[in-house]
A and B are shown apart, each in its own frame.
Chain A
């Protein structure tokens, strides 16, 4: 505080003249800019490495991706070298055609529909299960740390290893799941080979992978709720459900809003689970937007960079709209981050 108080007053002065928050210093003269340079350079120096890395490695590809989405670039017309011959790029700018095709065609909308079903069910299930387990682990219970360690295990195992483990379990002829079912006299279930079962299976795996993160985050949140609140509530005769409803849930608000937002974004773009488990199959049944975009630029022939970028940009726009909407709803309820 001691050091950044001058900068704060600068910010306030500027912020008052401009409406609220956004782009401070627009109305301030050059002198203030100079002064802000001297007070802010510490902060800027500390964030500089991140800004540079992200600017170069994400910024440029992003701009290029957006540009490609307005062209008809594919494997045959991008710049490439065959032997010693350099062949220059010959793709053309075609405006919004790719977007028109994507939005009017049935493929994008169909994939989007399943992506939304996938995201909502995964996030809802992981949150509910994570919350339940976190609540149990937050009590005094014998062997608590052992349980916690076992429950966090799926998070500690690299994703491609656990996906391999699950494929092994799901194997239609020799997998343990079907062997157990056969022991009970039930016919083999085509876990990954039937469109409906495959959808169920990928969701199950993703929930299995996602619960530990939710649980740990919510457990942290639970432990920061002062115990006196519960004691006071008990004195007043509040039931377990009332305590959960009126102390636990409000106390977890800020943690939950963050993890739900993050987990929605991650699930929406969850490439490895779908890609390694089913490759989007059977048919295109479990293909989500990201895996389909990847397929366009790596697996179809000729590789269609333009369409892939178009889908990528649409994914980005959808998520940004969601995040902005989400934040607005929170702000209306008095929560600001």
Chain B
């Protein structure tokens, strides 16, 4: 930042500054790249380190030798000797359902709040914000009781509903913000063509909101995929566990063995990374579209 345009103050400002846009001194470029590289290394290193560890046999797990006797042993053990794949499937089901349902209902809510004035709107916005404030740790026991009385304990549906309460408030806010940037004239043209408000939303606005949806989907998925507290409280029995709960068992079973844990972590990170890649592509188009609109 400090290295940008090192203009000597004595030189006539006009002549120096006019051609600046889009150009930069080589020194400034180096500075920017160095900053970005350092930041990227810090961002990537912990994850990369786990990846490398997962590929090392147990006896070298904590050494700094990167590629000594690279092996997939940790992974094969994980897949063959533990119910890891079952947990993985359960997690995919729960996170997938949360994403689909979450995106749909936060989109409808976001649209209603963005376009209509209705009694209770302000209250709803506040409620959505306030739900972010109530600590999970305190909700968990009463929610457990509710789920038990509805017979939803140990069921993917129970977790999905709980995760919706975490993901949807933020997603609805985000979708509202996104819908706010779509011109209202588009809605009006829908009404003129005889579409119902829902039809307008579904056929005209939603397709335009793809980038917003991508971000919302990403957020819902990550939230559901990485949640620990509810997952370990609500699901019991090996065949019903999701990854978060399953890993708790690992910690007991393998103690301080880093290898299997590292392998599990890598496998867990993969679907999240894929969803992210998908969202990222839309994110970029969305941002540039937004920039053109100004």
Nearest residue (CB) in B for A4 is B116
Nearest residue (CB) in A for B51 is A165
- Nearest-neighbour CB distance to chain A for B201, whole angstroms, equals 8
Contact code string A34-78 (vs B, CB < 8 Å = 1, else 0): 001000101111110111011011101110110000000000000
Nearest residue (CB) in B for A288 is B135
Cα-based distance from A56 to B145 in the complex (angstroms):
12
Tell me if A116 is interfacial: C-beta within 8 Å of chain B.
no
Cα-based distance from A320 to B143 in the complex (angstroms):
22
Total count of chain B residues near the partner, CB < 8 A: 108
The reply to whether A46 and B111 form a contact with Cβ atoms under 8 Å apart is yes
Nearest residue (CB) in A for B4 is A240
Q: List, in ascending order, chain B residues with CB within 8 A of A290's CB.
A: 135-137
The reply to whether B228 and A160 form a contact with Cβ atoms under 8 Å apart is yes
The reply to whether A2 and B288 form a contact with Cβ atoms under 8 Å apart is no
Nearest residue (CB) in A for B251 is A164
- Nearest-neighbour CB distance to chain A for B215, whole angstroms, equals 8
Decide: A294 near B109, CB < 8 A? Known: A43-B116, A139-B32, A157-B47.
no
Cα-based distance from A208 to B120 in the complex (angstroms):
38
Q: List, in ascending order, chain B residues with CB within 8 A of A181's CB.
A: none
The reply to whether A293 and B138 form a contact with Cβ atoms under 8 Å apart is yes
The reply to whether A50 and B134 form a contact with Cβ atoms under 8 Å apart is no
The reply to whether B132 and A164 form a contact with Cβ atoms under 8 Å apart is no
The reply to whether A40 and B119 form a contact with Cβ atoms under 8 Å apart is yes
Cα-based distance from A315 to B137 in the complex (angstroms):
11
The reply to whether A165 and B64 form a contact with Cβ atoms under 8 Å apart is no
Cα-based distance from A61 to B165 in the complex (angstroms):
12
Contact code string B276-294 (vs A, CB < 8 Å = 1, else 0): 1000100110011011001
Nearest residue (CB) in A for B201 is A46
The reply to whether A234 and B46 form a contact with Cβ atoms under 8 Å apart is no
The reply to whether B161 and A57 form a contact with Cβ atoms under 8 Å apart is yes
- Nearest-neighbour CB distance to chain B for A264, whole angstroms, equals 10
The reply to whether B226 and A136 form a contact with Cβ atoms under 8 Å apart is no
Tell me if A111 is interfacial: C-beta within 8 Å of chain B.
no
The reply to whether A161 and B268 form a contact with Cβ atoms under 8 Å apart is yes
Q: List, in ascending order, chain B residues with CB within 8 A of A156's CB.
A: 222, 269, 272-273, 275-276
Q: Which single member of B18, B134, B177 contacts A316 (CB below 8 Å)?
A: B134
Cα-based distance from A25 to B20 in the complex (angstroms):
57
The reply to whether B62 and A174 form a contact with Cβ atoms under 8 Å apart is yes
Tell me if A239 is interfacial: C-beta within 8 Å of chain B.
yes
Q: List, in ascending order, chain B residues with CB within 8 A of A151's CB.
A: 36, 39-40, 43
The reply to whether A240 and B5 form a contact with Cβ atoms under 8 Å apart is yes
Q: List, in ascending order, chain B residues with CB within 8 A of A47's CB.
A: 108-109, 112-113, 124
Decide: A54 near B131, CB < 8 A? Known: A133-B39, A223-B290.
yes
Tell me if B203 is interfacial: C-beta within 8 Å of chain A.
no
The reply to whether A161 and B137 form a contact with Cβ atoms under 8 Å apart is no
Interface residues of B in 168-207 (CB under 8 A from A): 168-170, 172-173, 177, 181, 184, 187-188, 191-192, 196-198, 201
Q: Which single member of B62, B118, B146, B164 contacts A60 (CB below 8 Å)?
A: B146
The reply to whether A262 and B225 form a contact with Cβ atoms under 8 Å apart is no
Tell me if A186 is interfacial: C-beta within 8 Å of chain B.
no
Question: Chain A interface secondary structure, helix, strand, loop or mixed?
Answer: helix
The reply to whether A51 and B124 form a contact with Cβ atoms under 8 Å apart is yes
The reply to whether B20 and A234 form a contact with Cβ atoms under 8 Å apart is yes
The reply to whether B43 and A57 form a contact with Cβ atoms under 8 Å apart is no
Q: Which single member of B39, B46, B111, B197 contacts A162 (CB below 8 Å)?
A: B46
Tell me if B14 is interfacial: C-beta within 8 Å of chain A.
yes
Q: List, in ascending order, chain A residues with CB within 8 A of B276's CB.
A: 152, 155-156
Most central of A46, A153, A155, A291 by chain B CB within 10 Å: A46
- Nearest-neighbour CB distance to chain B for A103, whole angstroms, equals 18
Cα-based distance from A313 to B13 in the complex (angstroms):
58
The reply to whether B280 and A141 form a contact with Cβ atoms under 8 Å apart is no
Tell me if A158 is interfacial: C-beta within 8 Å of chain B.
yes
Interface residues of A in 9-41 (CB under 8 A from B): 11, 21-25, 36, 40
Decide: A62 near B222, CB < 8 A? Known: A161-B265, A319-B133.
no
Tell me if B59 is interfacial: C-beta within 8 Å of chain A.
no
The reply to whether B32 and A136 form a contact with Cβ atoms under 8 Å apart is yes
Tell me if B261 is interfacial: C-beta within 8 Å of chain A.
yes
Interface residues of A in 288-322 (CB under 8 A from B): 289-291, 293-294, 297, 305, 308-309, 311-313, 315-316, 319-320
The reply to whether A61 and B290 form a contact with Cβ atoms under 8 Å apart is no
Tell me if A265 is interfacial: C-beta within 8 Å of chain B.
yes
The reply to whether B108 and A223 form a contact with Cβ atoms under 8 Å apart is no
Cα-based distance from A76 to B63 in the complex (angstroms):
49
Tell me if A96 is interfacial: C-beta within 8 Å of chain B.
no
Cα-based distance from A272 to B20 in the complex (angstroms):
47
Contact code string B123-156 (vs A, CB < 8 Å = 1, else 0): 0100111111111111111110010000000000
- Nearest-neighbour CB distance to chain B for A66, whole angstroms, equals 10
Known: A54-B127, A226-B294. 4 other contacts (CB 8 A): A46-B108, A158-B222, A169-B46, A171-B62
Query: Can you pick out 25 interface pairs between chain A and chain B where the beta carbons lie within 8 Å of each other?
Result: A1-B184, A7-B116, A7-B118, A21-B122, A42-B196, A46-B108, A49-B105, A54-B165, A133-B39, A136-B1, A141-B36, A147-B36, A152-B276, A158-B225, A159-B226, A171-B62, A174-B62, A216-B283, A224-B290, A269-B132, A275-B228, A305-B141, A315-B133, A315-B138, A319-B133
Closest 8 CB pairs of A and B: A312-B138, A158-B226, A61-B142, A294-B137, A156-B276, A174-B62, A46-B112, A43-B116
